[in-house]
Amino acid sequence: MIDATDARYGLAWSHMLQGKFHIALRELASCEKAYRQTGQYRGVALCELDRAEVYLSLNLLEDARSSARKAESWFRKRGFRYEGNTSAGL
């Protein structure tokens, strides 16, 4: 299930790059739910961070700030330095 979720996460990122923000947001929500259910908190944090990027692209600045702060909290709580740090909290 994790590999399938990771693949969907990659598709969400692709949709973001293509400007298909509504699809990206739906995919991110689905991935975040799956990551939460399997205890993959790094994935939860990354979904929140990407959600902030989508909101920023849509000029939804308050929503972007809120999501970025949530992502920061997830990263800090679990000891992640950034995307590449996979050793803590998994």
Domains and their CATH numbers in the chain? 2-78 (1.25.40)
Identify the pLDDT of residue 85: 46
Identify the pLDDT of residue 90: 38
Distance CA 39, CA 49 (A): 17
Q: Give Cβ neighbours of residue 6 (< 8 Å, ≥ 6 apart).
A: 43
* Block mean pLDDT (10 aa), the chain, length 90: 88 96 97 95 93 97 96 87 49
Q: Which is it for the CA torsion 76, 72, 35, 13, positive or negative?
A: negative
Distance (Å) of CA 46 to CA 17, 57, 77: 16, 17, 13
Please give the model's pTM, rounded to 2 decimal places. Answer: 0.84
